[in-house]
Amino acid sequence: MDEANMRVDRTSKSDSERRLSTLVRHLGASCSPSHTSISTERFENSKISLSPMAAFGSVFANVVQAPEDPILGVTVAYNKDPSPLKVNLGVGAYRTEEGKPLVLNVVKKAEQSLINDPSRFKEYLPITGLAEFNKLSAKLIFGADSPAIQENRVATVQCLSGTGSLRVGGEFLAKHYHERSIYIPVPTWGNHPKVFMMAGLKPMSYRYYDPSTRGLDFQGLVEDLNAAPEGSIVLLHACAHNPTGVDPTPEQWEQIRQLLRSRSLLPFFDSAYQGFASGSLDKDAHSVRLFVADGGELLMAQSYAKNMGLYGERVGALSIVCKSADVAGKVESQLKLVIRPMYSNPPLHGASIVATILRSPELYHEWTVELKAMADRIISMRQELFNALQAKGTPGDWSHIIKQIGMFTFTGLNKEQVAFMTREYHIYMTSDGRISMAGLNSKNLPQLADAIHAAVTTM
Amino acid sequence: MQAQTRLNLSLLHQDQALFSPHLFLVTLVITPTRTILFNYSLSQKRTLYLKNLAFSSKLQFSARENIERKRRRTRGTKMAFRAMISSRATQQSKWVPSAGVARQMSSWFGHVEPAAKDPILGVTEAFLADPSPDKVNVGVGAYRDDNGKPVVLECVREAERRIAGNLNMEYLPMGGSSHMIEESLKLAYGEDSDFIKDKRIAAVQALSGTGACRLFADFQKRFLPDSQIYIPVPTWANHHNIWRDARVPQNTFRYYHAETKGLDFSSLMEDIKNAPNGSFFLLHACAHNPTGVDPSEEQWREISHLFKSKNHFPLFDMAYQGFASGDPERDAKAIRIFLDDGHLIGCAQSFAKNMGLYGQRAGCLSILCDNEMEAVAVKSQLQQLGRPMYSNPPVHGALIVSTILGDPELKKLWLQEVKGMADRIIGMRTTLRENLEKLGSPLSWEHITNQIGMFCYSGMSPEQVDRLTNEYHIYMTRNGRISMAGVTTGNVGYLANAIHEVTK
């Protein structure tokens, strides 16, 4: 191939000359007396088969460049754009009304108290992470009075945010669970199938989003999960489904629970937006707690990236609710064997911040207030965008913007319309039509409304 | 566990008593050895009970009737049985007999075996549990000062003060912090390295040394699926776990010479020569873990030479740069030799020990490529392997590393502190050896000062180590590896005495 040839030619002359001369120097010097352990005789007689690429080629010369990650690649493209009007609605990271990233006050306070504590050390955490963090995280998602926690039936390990929790859970299941199929909603976060495939599971799909109603395809969901083999794993977004923002109602959740339990399907929850969706931590955990209440088993991947703004610190937890304390103990010991060859033990800083906040009633309360403010700002952006499109008379039903919940709106725009908006209006979003509401503010919202209007009317 | 089991046993007997005495005798006759049920697992007891239950009913019906009854009842019986066992065994779990109740009666994970404790991290656990005031922990390789206390370097504290509250916590790019990577490469490849200037190094931030090795192993599996990894004997135990979980087959090469407690150089060279051309080798760049035995500079040159003729790929695991001799440049000598000889190396770097950033998981994986275009391709693929594992690496440790290495004053302070740590360890080696010789030990303890880095491979047997633990409350891994960082002026005498006692 052209590329391969080019690669060889690009090796600069001086490089190859240098390597050749080094090689010649060594081979030529094989008779020097300093080589005491290898007799010159043996050296001359032994076969040294030089592979054709020995002096020049990398063993990785055939590696092709990977395509940009579809989500994180949006920010890369955004960064390259020189236009002052550009708007980044790609990655789901919260932005303030001024378009700036936000470090919560409560997080700053927690960090300061950690820095100022001279007795703090940075030693290795246990493989399972910070114990206090694990307990508090389980209480946060399952509820402090959860029977599963009271009965010590929950194995919780600290992991690297949501991704890490999903991967560790997936690898555990691949090693110890009898079913390899994991049913994933369509659509879902782009990284889900990759995580589970690398973990050794087999991603399958179930219908979730209905493009015609821009809501939940409940019928399709029920049909597909009824058809799944008994014992299959089912991935459920606990709240604020990513990317659609479409969640089942409480009644629908109850039906889903009954369906899963009656067919012995194993629920694997992904909770990345607890508190961020409705503004209430308890309300956003409703679906999970419903499943725990019936006494059955489940997996739960928790992330603090969004709801505490700890994105880059990679803080999360994997909890496995088991039938008995005994089983939970054994499960935890096996989770360690998954984690040790991956990264030995999890990072300390973020978990320390979370533990500091969750254990203090004052800081916890302050956090809930800041969290609600973030959620409220997003809800108000939804309303404003909807109003703006109504005012423009943009064709189509845009009520899904205010019906959907969480950080993202699945606009329903297609690839061509998205590309148009990027080209003409410097709006950056993922090609599936997903916009991050967190990136909107009163300054750039009119621009987005214009862009949508233009895309829908001209394409 | 015992109480639970006995409870089940009593209940089973109670139910069996409902049978006719005739059947009870039959049961005894059929299963004379099984009357002691408390040694059996739950599933074994379940099977036994069901067999007995079926047998008792069978006697009343014809063969065909029995088949029909079995078909109708098996499900019901099993469900009822499981309900009884699980609701009684797990006394507190709620049995809610309403629609859509959890049909799953027993745990999906009940068969999961308890995992064995990690051989290294398990030592500290045992140490913490010991109430003895004399206890000494020379297990885990984490640095301690002369008072036996963990240390946070001053340069780290200062870096943290500068970072806190000033920066946001946004996601790093998938490949990690570019500033941290840049500084890490300068440290490993040389401040003025041409390879860095020519952008030929594919590098990503990794989760300390473990994460860097794992990324490389996954990369190796994906792009050279037929390759294997050659690992020295002995090595850090987790190396085997890493390549195993990455599903890359492993081989070993001889390294440590038990008799001399030094390097088995001729066997090492033989194994390198006998490996098929183009094999992948894991090399400890300096301060070999667990032996502390490193090749000399001359020996490294010969190894490099042989590698060249065999076209082997060297992956350097460098977890102790600066920590071994006190001088990071000197500790990178092996890597620089290979680079001069034109090898395209891989390097897994860790800042856990040399910056004391253990819990922050700060490290870097780099692969030297033929040219810039290839480096871009390789880096993009490394990122693809990190994405489904943790998306992007943690920011805090990376900020500390780049703040320290990027600021001349802080870097100078760091170099002083690293030298201080290395010097203390070298001093302890000398003292331990002197103490043992003074005690009149018949054995040679030269290797204590010949070996380098955090660990000393004492040469003691597992049985001798067990005696040290049980009789003297001294905790170390059973391969006889002593973490010198845990030795202080306060405990070196006690340690020497104990070692002398178990080895004389």
Tell if the pTM clears 0.95, that is, is over it.
no
Residue A60's contacts (CB-CB under 8 Å, 6 or more residues apart) are: B223, B224, B367, B369, B374, B378
DSSP one-letter string for A202-246: EEEEEE-EETTTTEE-HHHHHHHHHHSPTT-EEEEESSS-TTT--
By C-alpha distance, the chain B residue nearest A176 is B112
CA distance A367 to A256: 32
Q: What is the largest CA-CA distance in chain B?
A: 94
pLDDT at A67: 85
Reading the block at residue A380, the tokens are 């108000």
Checking if the pLDDT of B461 tops 90, the result is: yes
Instruction: With beta carbons less than 8 A apart as the criterion, state whether A71 and A430 touch.
Output: yes
| Per-residue pLDDT tens over the stretch A418-439 | 999 999 999 999 998 999 998 9
CATH topology of domain B172-406: Aspartate Aminotransferase; domain 2 (3.40.640)
| Per-residue pLDDT tens over the stretch B398-450 | 999 999 999 999 999 999 999 999 999 999 999 999 999 999 999 999 999 99
Residue A105's contacts (CB-CB under 8 Å, 6 or more residues apart) are: A366, A370
Checking if the pLDDT of A372 tops 60, the result is: yes
**Tokens 């009940």, residue located:** B110
CB-nearest to A125 from B150, B310, B359 is: B359
Instruction: With beta carbons less than 8 A apart as the criterion, state whether A248 and A206 touch.
Output: no
Position B66 confidence tier, pLDDT thresholds 50, 70, 90: low
| Per-residue pLDDT tens over the stretch B142-184 | 899 999 888 999 999 999 999 887 678 888 989 999 999 999 9
Measured between beta carbons, which residues in chain B are less than 8 angstroms from residue A345? Answer: 359, 361
For residue B391, the one-letter residue type is S
Of A73, A128, A341, nearest in space to B221 by CA = A341
CA distance A108 to A110: 5
Position A14 confidence tier, pLDDT thresholds 50, 70, 90: low
* Residues pairing with A237 in the sheet: A270
Reading the block at residue A211, the tokens are 């493009």
Residue of B1, B171, B177, B263 for testing the chain A interface, max A β-carbons within 10 Å: B171
Measured between beta carbons, which residues in chain B are less than 8 angstroms from residue A175? Answer: none
Give the SS3 label for residue B470: helix
B1-15, B340-354, B487-501: the lowest-pLDDT one: B1-15
Checking if the pLDDT of B124 tops 90, the result is: no
* Percent of chain B at pLDDT exceeding 90: 70
Reading the block at residue A161, the tokens are 């945010």
φ, ψ of residue B65 to 5 degrees: the values are -60, -40
| Per-residue pLDDT tens over the stretch A17-31 | 555 555 555 444 443
| Per-residue pLDDT tens over the stretch A325-337 | 999 999 999 999 9
A129-143, A244-258, B26-40: the lowest-pLDDT one: B26-40
Helix B395-406 and helix A348-359, axial crossing angle in degrees, nearest 10: 120
DSSP one-letter string for B129-169: H---TT-EE--S---B-TTS-B---HHHHHHHHHHTTTS--
* Mean per-residue pLDDT of chain B: 85
> B121-149+421-503 maps to which CATH number?
3.90.1150.10
In this structure, the strands spanning A266-271 and A298-303 are: parallel
Give the pLDDT mean for A90-116: 90
| Per-residue pLDDT tens over the stretch B281-297 | 999 999 999 999 999 99
Yes or no, beta carbons of A63 and B377 under 8 Å apart: yes
Yes or no, beta carbons of A93 and B171 under 8 Å apart: yes
Instruction: With beta carbons less than 8 A apart as the criterion, state whether B62 and B70 touch.
Output: no
pLDDT at B464: 96
Reading the block at residue B255, the tokens are 């390294």
Checking if the pLDDT of B69 tops 80, the result is: no
Yes or no, beta carbons of B342 and A23 under 8 Å apart: yes
CA torsion through residues B224, B226, B232, B238, sign: positive
Tally helices (H) and strands (E) across chain A. Answer: 19, 13
Give the pLDDT mean for B442-468: 94
| Per-residue pLDDT tens over the stretch B194-253 | 999 999 999 999 999 999 999 999 999 999 999 999 999 999 999 999 999 999 999 999
Checking if the pLDDT of A54 tops 50, the result is: no
Position B122 confidence tier, pLDDT thresholds 50, 70, 90: confident
pLDDT at A38: 38
Give the pLDDT mean for A102-117: 91
pLDDT at B113: 85
Question: Exposed (0-12), middle (13-18) or buried (19+): which is A48, by Cβ within 10 Å?
Answer: middle
Rounded to an integer, what is the distance from CA A66 to the centroid of its chain? 19
pLDDT at B123: 87
Yes or no, beta carbons of B308 and A164 under 8 Å apart: no
Rounded to an integer, what is the distance from CA B324 to the centroid of its chain? 21
Write out the E strands in B55-200: 136-137
Checking if the pLDDT of B278 tops 50, the result is: yes
Position B125 confidence tier, pLDDT thresholds 50, 70, 90: confident
Give the pLDDT mean for A369-382: 95
Checking if the pLDDT of B75 tops 70, the result is: no
* Mean per-residue pLDDT of chain A: 88
* Residues pairing with B251 in the sheet: B230
Give the SS3 label for residue B312: coil
A56-60, A355-359, B128-132, B406-410: the lowest-pLDDT one: A56-60
Residue B87 vs residue A454, higher pLDDT: A454
User: How far away is chain B from the Cα of A357, in angstroms, using its nearest Cα?
Assistant: 16
Instruction: With beta carbons less than 8 A apart as the criterion, state whether A343 and B211 touch.
Output: yes
pLDDT at B82: 55
Instruction: With beta carbons less than 8 A apart as the criterion, state whether B344 and B143 touch.
Output: no
Yes or no, beta carbons of B104 and A69 under 8 Å apart: no
Yes or no, beta carbons of B342 and A55 under 8 Å apart: yes
Measured between beta carbons, which residues in chain A are less than 8 angstroms from residue B356? Answer: 122
Reading the block at residue B11, the tokens are 């209940």
Residue of B370, B373, B381, B483 for testing the chain A interface, max A β-carbons within 10 Å: B370
Position B76 confidence tier, pLDDT thresholds 50, 70, 90: low
Q: Which range has highest mean pLDDT (A56-60, B11-15, B66-70, B88-92)?
A: A56-60
φ, ψ of residue A413 to 5 degrees: the values are -75, 145
| Per-residue pLDDT tens over the stretch B243-266 | 999 999 999 999 999 999 999 999
- Going from the C-alpha of A159 to that of each of A338, A339, B324, the distances in angstroms are 11, 9, 32
Position A134 confidence tier, pLDDT thresholds 50, 70, 90: very high
Question: Exposed (0-12), middle (13-18) or buried (19+): which is A453, by Cβ within 10 Å?
Answer: middle
Give the pLDDT mean for A349-368: 97
φ, ψ of residue B428 to 5 degrees: the values are -65, -35
Yes or no, beta carbons of A60 and B1 under 8 Å apart: no
* Percent of chain B at pLDDT exceeding 70: 79
Instruction: With beta carbons less than 8 A apart as the criterion, state whether B365 and B332 touch.
Output: no
Helical H segments across B174-236, by residue range: 178-189, 194-197, 208-223
By C-alpha distance, the chain A residue nearest B92 is A151
For residue A183, the one-letter residue type is Y
CA distance A316 to A297: 20
Give the pLDDT mean for B43-47: 56
DSSP one-letter string for B255-290: -EETTTTEE-HHHHHHHHHHSPTT-EEEEE-SS-TT
| Per-residue pLDDT tens over the stretch A297-322 | 999 999 999 999 999 999 999 999 99
User: How far away is chain B from the Cα of A397, in angstroms, using its nearest Cα?
Assistant: 35
pLDDT at A49: 40
Instruction: With beta carbons less than 8 A apart as the criterion, state whether B475 and B483 touch.
Output: no
The region, left, alpha or beta by phi > 0 then psi within -120 to 50, assigned to residue B480 is left
Q: What is the CA radius of gyration of chain A?
A: 27
By C-alpha distance, the chain B residue nearest A335 is B115
**Tokens 């088991």, residue located:** A322
Instruction: With beta carbons less than 8 A apart as the criterion, state whether A91 and A71 touch.
Output: yes
Helical H segments across A280-433, by residue range: 281-284, 286-293, 325-343, 348-359, 361-392, 400-403, 415-425
Measured between beta carbons, which residues in chain A are less than 8 angstroms from residue B273? Answer: 46
Position A81 confidence tier, pLDDT thresholds 50, 70, 90: very high
Give the SS3 label for residue B451: coil
- Going from the C-alpha of A145 to that of each of A80, A141, A289, A361, B411, the distances in angstroms are 50, 11, 11, 17, 50
Instruction: With beta carbons less than 8 A apart as the criterion, state whether B287 and B325 touch.
Output: no
ipTM > 0.85, yes or no: no
Give the active site residues of B: 236, 317, 353
Yes or no, beta carbons of A324 and B360 under 8 Å apart: no
pLDDT at B29: 40
CB-nearest to A11 from B113, B340, B371 is: B371
Give the pLDDT mean for A198-217: 95
A53-57, A161-165, B76-80, B376-380: the lowest-pLDDT one: A53-57
pLDDT at B52: 52
Of B242, B239, B230, nearest in space to B268 by CA = B230
Checking if the pLDDT of B4 tops 50, the result is: no
- Residue A257: CB atoms within 10 Å: 20
CA distance B153 to B144: 11
* Percent of chain A at pLDDT exceeding 70: 87
Checking if the pLDDT of A40 tops 60, the result is: no
